[in-house]
Amino acid sequence: MTTPSPAPESTIVDGIHYHQHDIVIVGAGGAGMRAAIEAGPNASTAVISKLYPTRSHTGAAQGGMAAALANVEDDNWEWHTFDTVKGGDYLVDQDAAEILAKEAIDAVLDLENMGLPFNRTPEGKIDQRRFGGHTAEHGKNPVRRACYAADRTGHMILQTLYQNCVKHGINFFNEFYVLDLIMGEIDGEERPAGVIAYELSTGDLHVFQGKAVIFATGGFGKIYKTTSNAHTLTGDGVGIIWRKGLPLEDMEFFQFHPTGLAGLGILLSEAARGEGAILRNSEGERFMERYAPTIKDLAPRDIVARCMATEIREGRGAGPHKDYVYLDITHLDPAVIDAKLPDITEFARTYLGVEPYTEPVPVLPTAHYAMGGIPTNVKAEVLRDNTTVVPGLYAAGECACVSVHGSNRLGTNSLLDINVFGKRAGNNAVEFVKDAPWVPLPDDPAAFVRGLVDDVRFATGTERIATLRKELQDSMDRNAQVFRTEETLDEVTHVIADLRERFKNISVQDKGKRFNTDLLEAIELGFLLDLAEVVVYSARSRQESRGGHFREDYPTRDDENWLVHTMAYLTGDAHSSLAGDHIRLDTKPVVITNYQPMERKY
C-alpha cells in the first residue's frame, strides 16, 4: 500500500476554484465512503457531498445486510444467489448476483473489522435474522441470513465507514452540490475530466479535475409523494449522467416497500416481519397466508405490496377510509421489541400516536428503492451502451444498475450492494489512475453550471417550485405506483409535459448565494422531472408485469418478449414537451448462468 501525497492546494481563477485529485467521488453515503476507503490510501481522493456524510440516506436503512455466514442456520452463497435471482423476477444479471453473494461474507467481516457493532449470538458470533425472500435450499423454507445492528444497521454502517474515512485522512468537501460532469477526449476516446460543484455556503463554483470519477449519489424516490426517501434524494447523479447523453437502465422498476407508516411513508423495516410481525386486514386475518403460503409475510416486497393493495381494493382495508392494513407486533415479547426493533416502535408512537405493544400499526406501501439507474458492468465501470465502457467513469450503490436487483430488490441486499460494489469501484479506480493521463479541461469548464444557476436565480416567472413538485409527486403516486395501466401512464406523461412547460416560467424568492435552498430545490426539480419522465416512458413501453412493475392491462410476465433490460437514451432536447421527442428505448440481454426463469412461488 502506498501513501498518497497530500491534497494539492486549490487555485482560484476568475472566481472559480480549481482542485485536482486522482479520484473524485460524488456522494458520501455507504457506496461513496466504501469506495473512498479503498481509494484514499492509494491515490489522492476527494469525496464531494451535498450533505454532511453521516446525514446520507444510507443511515435510514434499518433491517440488516445479507450474507450467508451460516452463524445461526445452515446457509451458503449459492442459495443467496438463487434468492436474489428469483426475487428479482429473473431480470437479475446472474454473474453479478454470484459476485454479490460470494463477496457478501467478506463485506460483512470487513465492516466487523472496522468496528461495526453487530448484534451477537450467545456464543459471540454475528447474529442473523430472517428477511423477505431469503430462503434455504433454493426456496424450501425461510433462513436467517440478515446480519444486523438492532434496527439501525444502515446508521451503524454509515458511522463506521465515516470513522474509517477520517482515519485514512480522506478529503471531504461537504455541502458541495455537483451539477455537471466534464467530459473530454484523449486519442479520440471520450473520458471524464472532472465535475463542477456549487458550494452551498458561499455560492462559489468549484472545478474538481480527476483521472477517475465515481458516482455514488443514491436514488430518486422524491419523484413520488409517499416515499421513505429523504428530501435530498432527487436523483442528481443519475440526472447528470442522463443529460450527458449516457443511457439509463431498467428505470421502470421502482420498489414500493410494503410497510411505510400510513399517510406518511416513513419506513417500518422488514426486520419487524423478520422477528415475527404479522400483516392483518380489517377483519384481523393474516392475509398473506392466502397469497404466499410457504413464507407468508416474508414474501418479496413486490408481492407483499401488491397483496396489501389488493386487500384495500377489495374492501378489506382498515381505518375510517379503509385505505391501509395493519402491522401487528402485539404478540411479541416487549423485551424482544425493545432490543431488536427500538426505532420502528418509536416511529409508530411519535408519528401516529400508536402504542405497538398493544395496538397494530397502520401501514401502506411507500416508494422506496430504484432498481434501475446508471448501467455498469461488474467492475462498476459505467457503460456507454450494452458493452462499451466509459474509461475512468464508475458508479455504485442505488444510483447504479449492475444489475443485482433485477425488477425487485430483496431486503438487505441494498446495504450489501453498496459495500460490495462500492469497494469494487474504489479498487478499480485506483488501478485505472495508475497509468491514466489527465484529460484536459475545456477553456471555461464551469460555463454550463454558471448559466444553469444564474438562469434559476434570476428567473422572473410566476410558477412556484413547491407547487410544481407537489403536482409531479401527486400524479406519480396516483398513476405510476404499485399498479399501472396504459391509461394512467399516459395521464402522468401529459402531466410531466405540462410541468416542463411551466418549469420554464419559474422564479425563486431568494436571489442570494449563501445556503439558497430555493435555488437548490429548483435545480433538484429539474432532475426530478427528467427522471420521472424516463421512469414513465420506460413503464409505458414494457407491456408485461415483472417485479416492481405491475401492468394491470398486461398482468402476466412475458419472458418471450420482455426477458430483457430496458436501455433509455436521450436523443434530443431533454426539455422538449413530449418524451417521444427525445427518448429512445433499446434493450440489453439478461445474463443467465445457472437459473432459468421459472414461476415465482412462495
Residue among 70, 153, 172, 592 nearest 411 (CA):
153
368 is in an annotated binding site: yes
Sheet holding 325-328, edge to edge: 254-261, 361-370, 325-328, 278-280
Find how far residue 556's CA is from the centre of its chain.
26
Please spell the DSSP secondary structure of 409-423, one letter per residue. Answer: PPTTHHHHHHHHHHH
Residue among 510, 498, 489 nearest 471 (CA):
498
Question: Among residues 301, 306, 424, 542, which one is catalytic?
Answer: 301
411 is in an annotated binding site: no
29 is in an annotated binding site: yes
Please answer whether residues 369 and 185 qualify as being in contact, where contact means their C-beta atoms are separated by less than 8 angstroms: no
54 is in an annotated binding site: yes
30 is in an annotated binding site: yes
Q: What angle do CA 198, 200, 201 make, to 5 degrees?
A: 130
370 is in an annotated binding site: no
63 is in an annotated binding site: yes
62 is in an annotated binding site: yes
> Which residues touch 546 (CB under 8 Å, ≥6 apart)?
89, 91, 253, 407, 557, 562
Report which secondary-structure segment, H or E, holds 280.
strand 278-280
- The grid cell for 38 is 479503498
- The grid cell for 3 is 501513501
493 is in an annotated binding site: no
Report which secondary-structure segment, H or E, holds 130.
strand 128-136
60 is in an annotated binding site: yes
306 among known catalytic residues: no
- The grid cell for 59 is 443511515
338 is in an annotated binding site: no
Longest dimension (CA), the chain: 69
466 is in an annotated binding site: no
375 is in an annotated binding site: no
Residue among 68, 98, 49, 187 nearest 595 (CA):
98
87 is in an annotated binding site: no
> Residue 354 carries which side chain, given as an amino acid letter?
V
57 is in an annotated binding site: yes
351 is in an annotated binding site: no
- How far, in Å, CA of 407 to CA of 372, rounded? 8
356 is in an annotated binding site: no
> Residue 86 carries which side chain, given as an amino acid letter?
K
Residue 5 Ramachandran class (φ > 0 left, ψ -120 to 50 alpha, else beta): beta
263 is in an annotated binding site: no
134 is in an annotated binding site: no
Query: How far is residue 383 from each of residues 196, 552, 573, measured CA to CA in Å?
Result: 21, 33, 21
55 is in an annotated binding site: yes
The β-bridge relationship of strands 45-49 and 171-174 is parallel
541 is in an annotated binding site: no
Binding residues for substrate: 257, 269, 368, 409
Binding residues for FAD: 27-32, 49-64, 236, 398, 414-415
Binding residues: 27-32, 49-64, 236, 257, 269, 368, 398, 409, 414-415
Catalytic residue IDs? 301
